[in-house]
């Protein structure tokens, strides 16, 4: 399988060098009304209510689908389809005033009934793990067409924040028949066509309630190979690299006056996940040994050209409860060997099943080499992402270790769910997360810090580094996001200088 994949990637590179974007469809040089953006991870389908992974909301959230609220470039919650909201003194009732004159692309009006339908549907029809964010909702009322009321079972510090994610997307009641191929939203764009694995083309929504987007046509073009992605920009096949997948290549763009580079931060923790529910990784000593056996600074320098941030936890600096825990487990091969001996695991062999994405592939090679030095044999298996990795690792839990970037904001809460793919179970963490959600903002910060310290002490995973936001674009393109602090790659702000 890997040999075939490499052959395909080689063909992709040849196509890019020939001056066209890789894949089955070639696009000519962009017109003044069109822009083409290169991405690395392609969506398997267009239904993020039943398909996990970041690629679908990255393309569709804020662009096709919108919510009552969304996150601005600094991670603050701001209005979107709601113009304002109030919260009751007991912090259980949210009253949203809705934007007038909003319609879906199928012609249905957006009203308070839509809000009720969409929130109720998360609990009844969604299948992805993020649906649990709506379990705190008691009921939703359509007070009048422009006034929706959401009543929670208990106070929740996190609920409104999750409403800015895909969980808060609003759906037309008659537009959910075929979400995998036909999204129906209220955003500035609507689907033109979707060529699975190759491209997703959006066109301006003529009935959009807000300002007309600067580009009438946006092509999201997908590349598995980072060299092909870079060459597509160099050869005029695309206009923007949404996230550079070969950071050591930045120099070639910096020295080229045709391009500009944006460097910021993200919420994407690159995690070496352990299967905590499966021997031998259900032994804390083994997990700690592996963590002591990895030199994360050397890994970052080798695999990602030193770009990114060592964090040591599932908390990026954009969260209020961030603490730098990257030095808790310093590189210590001798200590790692001793812990393995104490656990009776001196001759350990582990399967590292990873998505076929550059950061994961490059990091895996370093990890295999470093763990070999402490007597651990690592076999690397590259899986097609997202479909195969999601099915076998994320859903099937068939792995010892994996590497994936968790891009969802405030996803530390997944460590409170023993059914999540890494199988971590700690009642103290679950209780702290619950108390953090219902307590005062000050209690939330204190409890969340304790959660991060606890899962770090347990070596529940090894947080390798935080991905940087590295964008390269043709000069004159404006409105690109300096930071990626949410799930969406917002196209509505794009413009021309």
Contact 40, 54 (CB under 8 A): no
Would you state the pLDDT for residue 31?
Answer: 55
Domains of the chain, each with CATH number or no CATH: 68-170 (3.90.76.10), 266-468 (3.10.105.10)
List residues bridging with 34 in a β-sheet.
217
The DSSP-derived string for 365-376 is HHHHHHHHTTTE
Would you state the pLDDT for residue 75?
Answer: 87
| Percentage above 70 pLDDT, the chain | 94
Q: How many CB atoms lie within 10 A of CB 444?
A: 19
The pTM of the whole model exceeds 0.85? yes
Tell the burial category of 165 from Cβ atoms under 10 Å away from its Cβ (0-12, 13-18, 19+). buried
Q: What is the maximum span of the chain, computed from C-alpha positions, in angstroms?
A: 67
**Residues 374-386: what's their mean pLDDT?**
97
Mean of pLDDT over the chain: 93
pLDDT at 24 over 50: no
Lookup: tokens for 23: 């894949």
Instruction: Express each pLDDT in 166-206 by its tens digit.
Output: 999 999 999 999 999 999 999 999 999 999 999 999 999 99
Would you state the pLDDT for residue 371?
Answer: 98
| Percentage above 90 pLDDT, the chain | 90
Whole-number Å distance between alpha carbons of 323 and 15: 45
Instruction: Express each pLDDT in 333-345 by its tens digit.
Output: 999 999 999 999 9
The DSSP-derived string for 216-252 is SEEEEEE-SSHHHHHHHHHTTS-SEESS-S-GGGHHH
Instruction: Express each pLDDT in 151-164 by its tens digit.
Output: 999 999 999 999 99
Instruction: Express each pLDDT in 284-335 by its tens digit.
Output: 999 999 999 999 999 999 999 999 999 999 999 999 999 999 999 999 999 9
Instruction: Express each pLDDT in 33-67 by its tens digit.
Output: 999 999 999 999 999 999 999 999 999 999 999 99
Would you state the pLDDT for residue 74?
Answer: 83
Closest CA to 437 of 154, 126, 16, 52: 154
Would you state the pLDDT for residue 3?
Answer: 35
């Amino acid at each position: 399988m890997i040999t075939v994949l490499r052959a395909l990637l080689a063909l992709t590179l040849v196509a890019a060098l020939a001056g066209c974007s890789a894949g089955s469809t070639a696009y000519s040089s962009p017109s003044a009304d069109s822009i083409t953006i290169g991405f690395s991870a392609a969506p398997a389908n267009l239904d993020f209510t039943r398909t996990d992974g970041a690629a679908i909301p990255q393309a569709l959230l804020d662009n096709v689908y919108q919510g009552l609220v969304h996150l601005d470039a600094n991670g603050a919650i701001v209005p979107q389809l709601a113009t304002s909201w109030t919260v009751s003194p007991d912090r259980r009732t949210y009253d949203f005033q809705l934007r007038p004159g909003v319609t879906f692309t199928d012609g249905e009006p957006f009203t308070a009934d839509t809000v009720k339908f969409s929130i109720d549907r998360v609990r009844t029809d969604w299948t992805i793990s993020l649906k649990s964010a709506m379990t705190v909702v008691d009921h939703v009322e359509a007070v009048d067409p422009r006034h929706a009321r959401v009543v929670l079972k208990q106070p929740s510090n996190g609920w409104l924040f999750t409403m800015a994610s895909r969980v808060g997307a609003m759906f037309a009641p008659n537009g959910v028949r075929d979400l995998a191929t036909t999204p129906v939203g209220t955003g500035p764009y609507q689907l033109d066509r979707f060529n699975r694995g190759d491209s997703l083309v959006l066109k301006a929504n003529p009935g959009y309630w807000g300002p007309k987007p600067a580009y009438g046509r946006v092509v999201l073009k997908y590349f598995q190979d980072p060299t092909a992605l870079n060459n597509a920009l160099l050869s005029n096949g695309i206009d923007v690299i949404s996230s550079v997948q070969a950071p050591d290549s930045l120099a070639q763009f910096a020295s080229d006056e045709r391009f500009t580079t944006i460097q910021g931060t993200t919420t994407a923790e690159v995690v070496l996940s352990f299967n905590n529910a499966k021997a031998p990784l259900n032994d804390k000593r083994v997990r700690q040994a592996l963590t002591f056996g990895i030199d994360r600074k050397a890994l970052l320098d080798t695999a990602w050209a030193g770009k990114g941030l060592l964090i040591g936890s599932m908390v990026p600096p954009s969260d209020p409860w961030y603490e730098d825990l990257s030095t808790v487990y310093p590189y210590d091969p001798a200590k790692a060997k001793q812990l393995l001996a104490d656990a009776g695991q001196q001759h350990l062999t582990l399967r590292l099943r990873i998505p076929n994405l550059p950061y994961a592939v490059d990091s895996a090679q370093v990890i295999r080499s470093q763990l070999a030095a402490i007597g651990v044999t690592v076999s690397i298996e590259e899986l097609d992402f997202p479909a195969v990795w999601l099915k076998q690792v994320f859903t099937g839990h068939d792995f010892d270790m994996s590497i994936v970037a968790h891009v969802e904001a405030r996803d530390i809460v997944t460590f409170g769910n023993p059914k999540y793919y890494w199988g971590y179970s700690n009642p103290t963490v679950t209780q702290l997360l619950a108390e953090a959600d219902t307590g005062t903002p000050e209690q939330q910060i204190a409890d969340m810090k304790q959660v991060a310290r606890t899962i770090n002490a347990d070596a529940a995973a090894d947080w390798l580094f935080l991905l940087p936001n590295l964008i390269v674009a043709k000069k004159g393109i404006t409105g690109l996001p300096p930071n990626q602090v949410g799930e969406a790659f917002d196209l509505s702000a794009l413009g021309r200088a």
